[in-house]
Structure formats: structure tokens, C-alpha cells
Amino acid sequence: MLDKNGIARRIAKEIKDGYYVNLGIGIPTLVANYIPEGINVVLQSENGLLGMGPFPFEGEEDPDMINAGKQTITTLPGSSVFDSAMSFGMIRSQKIDLTILGAMEVSENGDIANWKIPGKMVKGMGGAMDLVASAKNIIVAMQHINKAGESKLLPECTLPLTGVNCIRKVVTELAVLDILPEGGFRLIERAPGVSVDFIIQSTAGKLFADAEVMEMELN
């Protein structure tokens, strides 16, 4: 199985030259560390930054420079800082080519739940609602199964929804999966050492898999 950095490394391979990319809280923030060489992208943080770089080394942190998850970050030459109104203007006007989000649940129809667990304190939905409603393309970075061994890829989400029928690709510690327009997960790649049968057993939603599924390439 992949760890969180492995998930981020695999998602980074989906980024194309010239993209403007929004990185959500959690695993998506790690993607900034794995942008392929020779790929020119601009990373956006919804709290008001274009041109986000990798995480700083210990001792080089600037407490005034943070991402949407309140983690200290670096900036690249040519980066710009602005208010959240302008940031969400970019998002709502579909200036962002790719959004990478974390999730607690994703359904076989492409619904996403990533903002609230009933009974637990939450500060608010944050920018996820705007991102899923406005993004041209969304990739979810998440754990396939929870700590109890239960699938988080479901026929229907059980948690409050953030967006409906908006997700088209999911990358987990086990697999890369597309969500088909007619509904259902399609297994595209499997993590190194993970069998197709185990992925099938770990997916509660409808899953389609070919007889041969290629193993992820992370380098």
C-alpha cells in the first residue's frame, strides 16, 4: 500500500505543463513536493497565494506564509499574495485547471463528502463547496479504507455532502480509479504489491476491473 506521500507522488503525475492547480488541505498539500521536473505549473492556495512552492526545511519557516491548512510553505519567483475575495474569484470564474482535494467519502456517482462528521465540531465548510462547484477537473486524494477496515468508496455517501456528481478520479493507498459517467468506479491502476482481488474486497461501491490491471509507476 502507498503512504500519504506515495498518494501525492502519484497524483503529481496527473499535472500537465501550464496548469493552474489548487491544492486542498491534507494529502493534497504534499503534491507540491513532487511536481515533475520540466513541468511548469502554478499552485494556488485558496487563502490567497499563486506560486506556492514545496514545504520549507526546518528552521527556514516563515510563520506569515501559510497554505489553506495553516502549514508553513515557500513561494517561488513571481508568486503573488492577495485577499481571499480575489482567490475565490479565480476559483468561481474557473481559472483553475485542476483541483486536488481530500475526502472522507466518495460515492460511485462522483459525490464527495469532505467537510463534516455529524457530532464533531467543525469550523465551517471552508472553500471546498466553491471548489467542487467550479473546478474544471477534480482529483480526490484519500484513504481507501478507514481505521476499522471499512471502505470509504461507497454506493452512496453517508456523511453530509460537499458536492454532487463532481468527482471523476480518485487516488488512494490501494489504487487509481476513474468514476464512470454512468456510475461506478473503474480500476485503472493498482498500488505496488496490492492485488485486484483485495481492491475489489475493499470497495463497497460498484467496481469495474479488467482481468489485467497495471501497477502504478511512481518514479
Q: Is 46 labeled as catalytic in the residue annotation? A: yes
**Which is catalytic among the residues 46, 105, 108, 173?**
46
Contacts made by residues 190-197, CB under 8 angstroms, sequence distance 24+: 190/214, 190/215, 190/216, 191/1, 191/2, 191/6, 191/215, 191/216, 192/2, 192/216, 192/218, 193/1, 194/1
Q: Do residues 94 and 136 lie in contact, with contact meaning Cβ atoms separated by under 8 Å?
A: yes
- Taking every pair of Cα atoms in the chain, the longest distance, rounded to a whole number of angstroms, is 51
Instruction: Quote the CA–CA distance of 169 and 153 in Å, as a whole number.
Output: 12
Residue 185: Cβ-neighbour burial (10 angstroms; 0-12, 13-18, 19+): buried
How do beta strands 185-190 and 214-215 pair? parallel
Active site residues: 46
